[in-house]
Amino acid sequence: MKEKAYDPKAAEERWYAAWLEAGAFHADPARPGEPYSIVIPPPNVTGSLHMGHALNITLQDVLLRYARMNGRNALWVPGTDHAGIATQNVVERELRGEGVSRQELGRDAFVARVWKWKEQSGGTILRQLKRLGAACDWDRERFTMDDGLSRAVREAFVRLYRKGLIYRGRYIINWCPRCHTALSDLEVSYAEEKGALWYIRYPGQSGGQGVVVATTRPETMLGDTAVAVNPKDERYAERVGTTLRLPLMNRPIPLLADAMVDREFGTGAVKITPAHDVNDFEVARRHELPSVRVIDESGRMTADAGVFAGLDRFACRDAVVAKLKEEGLLVREEPYLHNVGHCYRCGTAVEPSESMQWFVKAKPLAEPAIRAVRGGETRIIPSQWEKTYFEWMENIRDWCISRQIWWGHRIPAFHCRSCGKTMVEPDPPSKCAACGAEEILQEEDVLDTWFSSALWPFSTLGWPENTADLERYYPTSVLVTGFDILFFWVARMMMMGIEFTGKAPFRDVVIHALVRDARGEKMSKTRGNVIDPLEVIDRFGTDAFRFTLVALAAQGRDIRMSDDRVEGYRNFMNKLYQAGRFVRMHVDEETPRKLPGELPVVDRWILSRLQRVIDEVRGGIEEYRFNEAGSAYYQFVWHEFCDWYLEMIKPALLPSAGEEERKAQRATLLHVYETLLALGQPFIPFLTEELWHALPGGRGLLYDRPYPVADAAVNDVNVEEDMAHLMEVIRAVRNIRSELNIPPAKKVEVRLKGEAEEIAFLRDHEEILRRLARAEAVAYVDPDYIPVQDATAVVNDIEVCLPLSGLIDFDQESRRLKKEIEKGNAERVRVAGRLANEKFMANAPQDIVDALREREAALEQKLAKLGKNHELVSRYLS
């Protein structure tokens, strides 16, 4: 039973194992070669492979394999991220199933439990990366919570603290009442929601009409400690300084003036809730107002909310509104669309709350990170993202890094129980530095996961030790990632990298787009339109999938993934595979790998074309224009190598051909094919490795071979032109046959009409012409030959005539020629028009004018010939 089509599965397992076996992915700093390093964007340890990863990993793998084959000392560091909140949520959910809460379990037992979960389930995504073919150095796998990285985190924290770049304080932060933790500004995503704007009257303390305020959150009024108006607002000027009575709570609160208030909005009077609003918090600071916390960490009303204590914040909103209505203090209620922040992990509406947290002072860190990009130390590609980067960096705000969860790096701050002194040390102190007491408690909070991720490019290489890896592979060559974590991660790595190593962590930052579904919609679990990469791989093979991603990865544009596309590229994989079968039929152990000095034209042609495609593919990869590299490769392999070259050498490979000629052609065939395999290895590693080993002669792994380099000396413009002409002639014959419905089985004679020297090249390659045009015979006729009963076409200087007496339908041929003439004439008119334009002639560069002149002459000649032939044919019209 002979194999018909390529079966990827077996090859994929075999070759990934072979690469690992050979230690091919392992990087050794001691080895020579200019370093090329990439750190993987560490996927969440809870994660499983999705399309975004697949694209991200594929692009990195292309770059890495390319670098490696170019002799670079290449390293790709893999690993995962501990994903604090997400992982804690997963394990808590598991515990809930067992009827236990994490509080019941206790901190240490819970953390141990998460570790156990990580050991069992945490490796999923890394195993999936292997199916994609990722050439990661698995000996260097890292986890943000492992010992080395944890040490790096503590070290970084302590250094920043000592420099005054980390501080602790009471501020308003975003609080997730479900996750029970603070979030950074970035971890809140805003969504418009339909709500209402309630107008509430706050009466004067000593009677009087008081002031009407407008709010979207009436429940927070229970914590109001003032009402503010703009100092320039004449409507309230007289009343500023008086005291109002806070409804429902019956608390006296001042009416004060603050420039922050917008006179245009609502009534121009704002209720001030310092404990639950950022702006109000600032106002309160300026005016030394007290702060009353009315919503607790679970989103329920505190004891300070009076009769509403214990209610959920949203239930409380309704209750407050109802009560106000009852008391006649609700002046008005209008529908209102506003932005509500939600926890990016669980979607719960975030509650801004005042609390004690740790922060990174971001400005001083951002400045050098901005300079690094401005100065070109780091490039962001495509460059339009630089603007986004600058904008964010220039308006950066301090970063809340403490989280009230258990899974993560516990903040290395230690509080003395007796005197309250806080010590920040990489290792726990045994006694208080101030009072000597020995009862010391470590800070309960852990760090934001992104804090450890920010150190990833150097912590994975051994920092703070000055390791050989760090020395050799830092800064890394390129970071490949999605725009969604530009701020979360890239910006912070830039800041931390420069702060701790003095150098920006990457030479290039490549930002790729989103993978969407076939209809262009974002894939999401809730939408149910998620395409599982592994399923695609199962159906079409990894290489086809990878090639699809590469071919569609145009800079700055989202990718629409669909079965159709993958199927198309799966067919391409098969094409390459079938070509391999053909090659194997004709080469053997004897076939020389060194090309003979004298080569047939066809060989010189394909070699010349090959140099170009090598340049295109290399250029595409080097400029991160992956789609261009991919399509250059696709186009060449299929439409030049397979469609033309293989077809053209068939006669020469037949036993009837001379032995010497056959040998030479075989050497070229093998050479070109092997070059194509090497050229394709970064994109389609499994198939190319498989095909490589199927060829005669064992020469190790393709992964280890040098990447093809174009040899300009092999380029031959004349040969390319001659061949282009030959192909045109073949196409002309095929076209006539097809248009006139002459079945392929019907052999025809082809007469080539033209001057002897114009025909010489065609005459030398008659066999190719005969075969590809399915011509029984080729005749060469003088320029005065009259194609009386022929179908004709004009190709450059010659005419292609097919004597078809008795077969030909002259009506049809007449129409065909007429169509040709019309097409040609339309173009001639355009060209002539431009040439007649004086301004064009005066201003256009000479080469453009010359080219156009030539074009005009050629068109005129062609039209003259076509016209004459059309006339001939017309005589026979019925």
Count the helices and strands in the chain (H runs, E runs): 30, 29
Per CB under 7 A, the list member of 50, 293, 625, 666 interacting with RNA is 625
Q: Does residue 735 belong to the site contacting RNA (CB under 7 A)?
A: yes
Q: Does residue 384 belong to the site contacting RNA (CB under 7 A)?
A: yes
Q: Give every CB contact of residue 288 below 8 A, 6+ residues apart in sequence.
A: none
Per CB under 7 A, the list member of 48, 121, 422, 571 interacting with RNA is 571
Please tell me the distance from the alpha carbon of residue 2 to that of residue 378, in angstroms, as a whole number: 53
Per CB under 7 A, the list member of 5, 356, 435, 864 interacting with RNA is 5
CA angle 861, 866, 872 (to 5 degrees): 135
Return the amino acid letter for 49.
Answer: L
Q: Binding string to RNA for residues 523 to 562, with x set by CB under 7 A, is what?
A: -----------------------------x-xxxxx-x--
The candidate with the shortest Cα–Cα distance to 27, out of 566, 460, 586, 321, is 460
Q: Give CA separation, 482 vs 53, 57, 627, 670, in Å.
A: 9, 11, 17, 40
Please tell me the distance from the alpha carbon of residue 732 to that of residue 801, in angstroms, as a whole number: 10
Q: Does residue 585 belong to the site contacting RNA (CB under 7 A)?
A: yes
Return the amino acid letter for 844.
Answer: A
Which of these ranges, 151-159, 321-329, 750-758, 833-841, lies near RNA under the rule CB under 7 A? 833-841
Q: Does residue 827 belong to the site contacting RNA (CB under 7 A)?
A: yes
Q: Does residue 825 belong to the site contacting RNA (CB under 7 A)?
A: no
**Considering only residues 231-260, where is the footprint of RNA by CB under 7 A?**
260
Per CB under 7 A, the list member of 26, 159, 612, 734 interacting with RNA is 734
Q: Does residue 520 belong to the site contacting RNA (CB under 7 A)?
A: yes
**Considering only residues 638-677, where is the footprint of RNA by CB under 7 A?**
638-639, 642-643, 646-647, 650
**Considering only residues 255-284, where is the footprint of RNA by CB under 7 A?**
260-266, 268, 270-271, 277-279
Which of these ranges, 2-10, 301-309, 361-369, 807-815, lies near RNA under the rule CB under 7 A? 2-10
How many other C-beta atoms can be found within 10 angstroms of the C-beta atom of residue 375?
10
Which of these ranges, 289-297, 603-611, 686-694, 738-746, lies near RNA under the rule CB under 7 A? 738-746
CA angle 497, 502, 503 (to 5 degrees): 65
Per CB under 7 A, the list member of 216, 422, 467, 874 interacting with RNA is 216
How many other C-beta atoms can be found within 10 angstroms of the C-beta atom of residue 48?
15
Measured from the CB atom, the residue of 731 and 818 that comes closer to RNA is 731
Q: Binding string to RNA for residues 745 to 784, with x set by CB under 7 A, is what?
A: x---------------------------------------
Q: Does residue 573 belong to the site contacting RNA (CB under 7 A)?
A: yes
Which of these ranges, 115-123, 288-296, 437-445, 735-743, lies near RNA under the rule CB under 7 A? 735-743
For RNA, how many residues bind (rule: CB under 7 A)?
A: 89
Specify whether the CB–CB gap between 142 and 150 falls below 8 A: no
**Considering only residues 672-731, where is the footprint of RNA by CB under 7 A?**
731
Q: Do the strands 413-416 and 399-400 form a parallel or antiparallel pair, or are they unpaired?
A: unpaired
Burial class (CB in 10 A: 0-12, 13-18, 19+), 420: exposed
Measured from the CB atom, the residue of 619 and 867 that comes closer to RNA is 619
Phi, psi dihedrals of residue 421, rounded to the nearest 5°? -65, 140
Minimum gap (Å) between residue 715 Cβ and RNA: 17
Minimum gap (Å) between residue 647 Cβ and RNA: 6
Minimum gap (Å) between residue 125 Cβ and RNA: 23
3-state SS, residue 159 = helix
Q: Give every CB contact of residue 794 below 8 A, 6+ residues apart in sequence.
A: 800, 861, 862, 865, 866
Q: Does residue 189 belong to the site contacting RNA (CB under 7 A)?
A: yes
Q: Does residue 392 belong to the site contacting RNA (CB under 7 A)?
A: yes
Measured from the CB atom, the residue of 418 and 524 that comes closer to RNA is 524
Q: Does residue 100 belong to the site contacting RNA (CB under 7 A)?
A: no
How many other C-beta atoms can be found within 10 angstroms of the C-beta atom of residue 239?
18
Q: Give every CB contact of residue 500 below 8 A, 6+ residues apart in sequence.
A: 156, 159, 455, 458, 463, 464
Minimum gap (Å) between residue 60 Cβ and RNA: 20
3-state SS, residue 801 = strand
